[in-house]
Amino acid sequence: MSLWMILPVSLPALTITGIWVVYAMALYNQHVCPVDNWMYNQSCEEDLSMQRGPTLCCTLDDVPLISKCGTLPPESCFFSLICSTGSFMVMVIVLLRYAHVIEKHQNCVLNTASLSTGWICSAGLIMVGNFQVDNAKVLHYVGAGVAFPTSMLFVCLQCALTYRLAKTQGEYSVGHLRLSMTLLAFVALVLSGVFFVQESFVLQHASAIFEWVFCVIIMLFYGTFAFEFAGISSDTMMVLARGGVLGSTSRDHKMESLSGANSHQSEGTAML
C-alpha cells in the first residue's frame, strides 16, 4: 500500500477544516451573519462589525458566502493560504491520477480532458483565494466562473473514467459512490447559481448554503482517489518522467514475455 494515498485524504481534511475556520473567524469578527440566521434587513443603523449585541442586523452584504467569509482581514489571509495550498494539492492529485491511469490501463480522451480541467480549476481557485470579492470583484468572479464549472466537469469526467476502467466489484462500488457525489454536487451547484441571482434574502442565504454543500462534496470527491493512490508505484513516476510512454512500454514487455513463455511451452510440448 502506497503512502501516496494520504495525499487525497489530506486535501479534504485541510480545505474543509480550513474554510470552516475562516467562517468561524469571520463570524467572530462579525464580518458575516451566521448560517442559521435567515432574517435580513434592507439596511442597518450601524455596520455589522460595529454591533456586539446578541441580536445582529444583517443585510445582503453579510450573507455567509464562502468568498464573503474570506474578504476581510484577518480571515482573508488564512483564506488565501487555504486556497493556494488546496490548488497546489489539486494539481498534484490530478497529475498523479493522470499518470496512474496510463500506467495501469492506457491513455484516453477522458484522462487527458480530466488533466486539463483539473489544472484549469486550480488556476481559478488561486484567483478566488487571492483576489477578494470586495477588493477585486471582476477578477474574483472570473476565478469563480472558471473554478466552479471546471470542478464540476472534472468530477463528471472522472466518474465516467472510473466506470470505463472498472473491472472488479470494488471498482464499480467506487464508481457508484462517485456518481452519487457527482449528482449531488451538480444539484447543489445549479441551485446555488439560480438562487444567487435572486433578490430574495431567503434565496440568497440558501445560495450560500448550497455553495458550502457543493464545495464540501467536491473536496470529498478528491478524497476518493485514495482507492487508486494506494497502488501508486515508482512506475507511476516514470510515466511522468517519460511523457506518458512507460505504460505502453510496460504492456509491450509484458506481451513479449507472455509470448515468449507461450513459445517455450509450445516447444517443450513438441519435444515431448
56-114 per-position pLDDT tens digit: 888 988 999 999 999 999 999 999 999 999 999 999 999 999 999 998 888 899 999 99
Tell me the one-letter amino acid at 162: T
* Tens digit of each residue's pLDDT (9 = 90 or more) over 174-230: 999 999 999 999 999 999 999 999 989 999 999 999 999 999 999 999 999 999 999
Give the torsion through C-alpha atoms of 161, 164, 170, 172, to 10 deg.
90
Query: Mean per-residue pLDDT for 239-255?
Result: 57
Measure Cα distances from 2 to 11, 98, 106, 174, 241 in Å.
17, 17, 21, 18, 19
Q: Is the pLDDT of residue 250 over 70?
A: no
pLDDT recorded at residue 235: 82
% of the chain beyond a pLDDT of 70 = 88
* Cell numbers representing residue 2 in the block: 502506497
Q: Is the pLDDT of residue 258 over 70?
A: no
Q: Is the pLDDT of residue 248 over 70?
A: no
Q: What is the pTM of this model?
A: 0.87
Measured between its terminal Cα atoms, the distance across the chain in Å is 44
pLDDT recorded at residue 243: 66
Q: Is the pLDDT of residue 263 over 80?
A: no
pLDDT-wise least confident of 43-52, 84-93, 125-134: 43-52
